[in-house]
Structure 1
Amino acid sequence: MTSTPQQPAAPAAAVRNTPARVAAWSAAMGVSLIVAIFATPMFWLMYGQYYTFFMAVFGVVAIPAGHLGRIRGKRLGGRDRGLALLAIVTGWLLLLCVLLIVLAYAGLMIGVTALFSFAS
């Protein structure tokens, strides 16, 4: 009976939780867009639809990637599980900000329309 040589296990430092890192980067990019809204309000007024769209995209990417990172982190002994949880929470907060921005914009348009219809 011949035995096949066993491959040595990969060192723990070489194993990365890539979904958690993707989720964290996506959440960080979304938060940077929120910071950019407050730092450069003139650009947001001119290109607000792009800011809002990319905040939604980054939030939508962060949530499922964060869940995958939590699952993979459990298999890796807890590696980057906290980072993935932070990305999930940040992703949901990004989507909440997007919802508030869209509702504020819709309310502004309805208010301006009502103002002009009552004025004429």
Structure 2
Amino acid sequence: MTGNTQQTTGPTAIRSRNTPARVAVWAAALGAGLIVAIVATPMFWLMYGGLYTAFMFLCGLVAIPAGHLGRRRGKRLGGRDRGKALVAILTGWLLILCSLVLVLAYVGLVAGLGVLSDSAS
């Protein structure tokens, strides 16, 4: 080793990471970014709404179990990244809720248009 550099490999470096919590946070952030993308680009959501909604749902499905694993691992690591994992769990549930609301809105829109076209003829 030279000077101020530290070697990050070895058993102590591996034990000190809370990888599930970090995965959960990234999945939650990606899903939240999809919500921002839906609001910022409504034309793209109209064209690719199914993809936005599916990816949002999948991000929620990744964030919840990874967040729970991160909370458990954080407990063994003395509380490291437990707060991040909790935020990821809550965000994951909100992502799933938002994606289900979007699916219900789309189904309601299609059903409403069907009723309108049926009553027009």
Q: Look up the SS of the partner of 2:12 in the other structure.
A: coil
Alpha-carbon separation, structure 2, partners of 1:72 and 1:60: 19
Which residue matches 2:6? none
1:16 aligns with 2:17: yes
- Matched position secondary structure for 2:119: helix
Q: Which residue of 1 aligns with 2:5?
A: none
Q: Which residue matches 1:30? A: 31
Q: Kindly name which structure, 1 or 2, has the bigger radius of gyration based on alpha carbons.
A: 1
Give the percent of matched residue pairs that are identical in Structure 1 and Structure 2.
Answer: 68
Unaligned stretches of 5+ in structure 2? 1-10
Partner amino acid, structure 1, of 2:55? F
Structure 1 position 59, deviation (Å)? 0.3
5+ residue gaps, structure 1: 1-8
Counterpart CA distance in 2 for 1:51 and 1:11 is 37
The CA RMSD over aligned residues, in Å, is: 1.7
The residue that corresponds to 2:110 in the other structure is 109
Cα offset, 1:102, TM superposition: 0.3
Corresponding residue of 2:99: 98
Name the TM-score, length of structure 2 as normaliser: 0.88
| Correspondence for 1:86 | 87
CA-to-aligned-CA distance 1:9-52 (integer Å, 9 cap, x gap): 7269x711000000000000000000001111111111111100
Could you say which residue in structure 2 is the equivalent of 1:4? none
Alpha-carbon distance between aligned partners in 2 of 1:10 and 1:119, rounded to the nearest angstrom = 71
Which segments of structure 1 move beyond 4 Å, counting only runs of 4 or more? Answer: none
TM-score, normalization: structure 1?
0.89
SS in 2 for 1:10: helix
